[in-house]
Amino acid sequence: MGVSKTITVTCDFKGCTSVLSWNETEVGAGRQQPPEEALYLVLITHNNVQKAFCCQLHAAEYFLPPGYETKQKQVIELPKPKEEPTDLWARLPKTTTWMDDPPRSEDAVEQADGSPDNGQGGSLC
Q: What is the pLDDT along the chain (125 residues), one digit of tens a residue?
A: 578 788 888 898 888 888 888 888 888 888 888 888 888 889 999 889 999 998 888 888 888 877 776 666 677 788 888 776 667 666 666 665 666 666 666 666 666 676 666 555 545 55
Closest to 19 measured CA to CA, from 34, 6, 8, 7: 8
Residue type, 18: S
Q: pTM for this structure?
A: 0.48
Domain ranges for the chain, please list them.
6-63, 88-113
